[in-house]
Structure 1
Amino acid sequence: MENQINEKIRNAKRIVLKVGTSTLTYSNGNLNFSLINKLAWVMSDLKNQGKEIILVSSGAIGVGSKKLNFKTRPTEIREKQAAAAVGQVELMHIYQNFLGEYGQRIAQILLTKDDFKEGERKTNTYNTLDTLLSLGIIPIINANDTISTFEIEFSDNDRLSASVASLIKADLLIILTDIDALYDSNPKTHKDAKRIPYVKEVTDEILQMGGEKGSEFSVGGMETKLLAARECYENNVMMAILDGSDPSYISDFIFGKDIGTIFDCE
């Protein structure tokens, strides 16, 4: 079984990577340029191996909040939208610079829940992503927080990444986070917490293992990642949770290192 799973991961061609605000930034909310550069290198290396890469990136509101000199993540919808508008420009500029250094081309796509509902918009979203991948482009996706209050109030990019992976029929979704795996209890508060390396199905018992959210500039917690895993399971997409502090773990994981948590899809 383990060999079959490792082979499936190693042979994954279409991969969605999700990176959260707490991974992209320091605890003070400033961007971690060293980490972003390493992430760009890993994505470029995977592309050179013939893999298709989609990046779902959080951080627009957090980055925009810092640019606007907000001391904490704003709570008012209009301030969140303003921060998202400012932060999205900053994020894309940074991704373009770092990925461009490794010869990669990127595209920005902002999505709402309506883009995943059955109908023309869903078809158009799939066609756009599929075409960009066929052209060797790395699509960088975020929720369209600037215009959609519904997304800000009720959504998160863990679930968005699962929806993207399901729509585009990805082989693998990797969610990078500030906890290196799913544990049977919160490792930040329980020293005896044990890593769960493999999950066959996201049951109600597994969902109850979801803990607190990350930094004050982030939104998601382990619960949102488990909900994303359940959506992936329902759509036949393998998912993994990995430590986002070092993007080289992505390559280690793909080539068989026993790290993180794997959520199977069969």
Structure 2
Amino acid sequence: MQNKRNLIADRIVIKVGTSTLIHQNSKVRLSVIDKLAHVLSTLKKDGKDVVLVSSGAIGAGMGVLHLGKRPVKISQQQAVSSIGQAELIQIYNEALHKYNMCAAQMLITKDVIDYPESHTNVMNSFQELLAMDNTIPIVNENDAVTVSEMDHLTKFGDNDQLSAIVTNLIDADLLIMLSDIDGFYNANPLKNPNARLISQIDHITPNIITAAGGHGTKFGTGGMTTKLKAAERILKHHQQMVLANGKDPEIIFNILSGDPIGTLFTTIK
């Protein structure tokens, strides 16, 4: 049996992917958000600083509009995302209210790292929100005014990248990335029955990059490659990241207790 992990986790960023939040029929997984609200609230009440980076806006918008497939046209994606964003934040808020917490929506664009004034403004907002006892910042890219996340046309990237950038920005100790896979494997576990879960990675090698690839569900844009890019950013800043299956968000409690779940990316000995 593997030893317990030694995780530093006073300030935590949790990223949840579209496949975790949205059913194949485009309906929001309400039970997942309820559990996520419970976890976030418990961590906050335990004195942790917690930020959630949530995907799922386009998927939720598709559900509201009863769309069978993701729009191709950029402006349509932006419109669907705007509708879905309103739906998602309402659901998050209702779930958090059960635990006497509230959501603080932060929709940001790549200028938070490109321009000093924007960087200062978003940092001030984060610090004020994190200082509040009953507030959970929920972050997504502002898709209505940027196309960088949806079709990767500019350097900001997808929400995997966004979660790593937020982790860097607020100097968090740990990024927990919840996905629809148990961690990083040395081969595609859906195609190779001999694929092995790698418990810990301390640098991204060419072999690891080769083992990754492909996109996610019809609702999202992320694949394992984007998660590795996020992990590279985390390792460069000497922070830690755990990639794990998010079907039950209460797995976060197990991760923080040191259970060797998923894949830990760390340079910390």
TM-score of the aligned structures, taking structure 2 as reference length? 0.93
Looking at structure 1, the residues matched to 180 and 149 of structure 2 have their Cα atoms a distance apart, in angstroms, of 23
Match of 1:260 among 250, 259, 262: 262
How far off is 1:69 after superposition? 2.0
Q: Write out per-residue CA displacement over residues 63-86 of structure 1, whole angstroms, 9 at most, x where no aligned residue.
A: 112212221111101110110110
Q: Are 1:142 and 2:140 an aligned pair?
A: yes
- Give the count of matched residue pairs: 262
Select which of 182, 191, 194 maps to 1:192. Answer: 194
Q: C-alpha displacement at 1:238, in angstroms?
A: 0.6
Shift of 1:205: 2.4
Match of 1:116 among 91, 113, 116: 113
Residue in structure 1 matching 2:224, options 222, 229, 232: 222
Matched AA of 1:211: G
| Two-structure CA RMSD over aligned residues (Å) | 1.4
Question: Higher mean Cα deviation, 144-153 or 19-28?
Answer: 144-153
Structure 1 unaligned spans of 5+: none
| 1:184-242 deviations in Å (ceiling 9; x for gaps) | 00111111110000001122322222133222111101110010000111122211101
Tell me by how many angstroms 1:151 deviates. Answer: 3.4
Where does residue 63 of structure 1 map in the other structure? Answer: 60
> Secondary structure, in 3 states, of the residue corresponding to 1:225?
helix
1:125 corresponds to 2:127 = no
Distance in 2 (alpha carbons) for counterparts of 1:239 and 1:201: 12
Counterpart in the other structure of 2:29: 32
| Matched letter for residue 73 of structure 1 | R
Which amino acid is the alignment partner of residue 145 of structure 1?
Answer: D
Residue 177 (str. 1) matches residue 179 (str. 2): yes
203, 206, 209: which one aligns with 1:204:
206
Secondary structure at the aligned position of 1:6 is classed as coil
**Structure 1 residue 127: deviation in Å?**
1.4
TM-score scaled by length of structure 1: 0.94
Q: CA deviation at 1:118?
A: 4.5
C-alpha contact 1:113 1:151 (8 A) present in aligned 2 = no
Superposed structure 1 runs of 4+ greater than 4 Å apart? none
The amino acid that maps onto 2:171 is: K
Q: Identify the residue that residue 18 of structure 2 maps to in structure 1.
A: 21
> Cα offset for 1:106?
1.7
Give the gaps of 5 or more residues in structure 2: none
How high is the sequence identity, in percent, across the aligned residues? 43
Structure-2 separation of matches of 1:167 and 1:214: 26
Deviations 1:128-172 (A, max 9, x none): 111110113210000110111233221210000000001110000
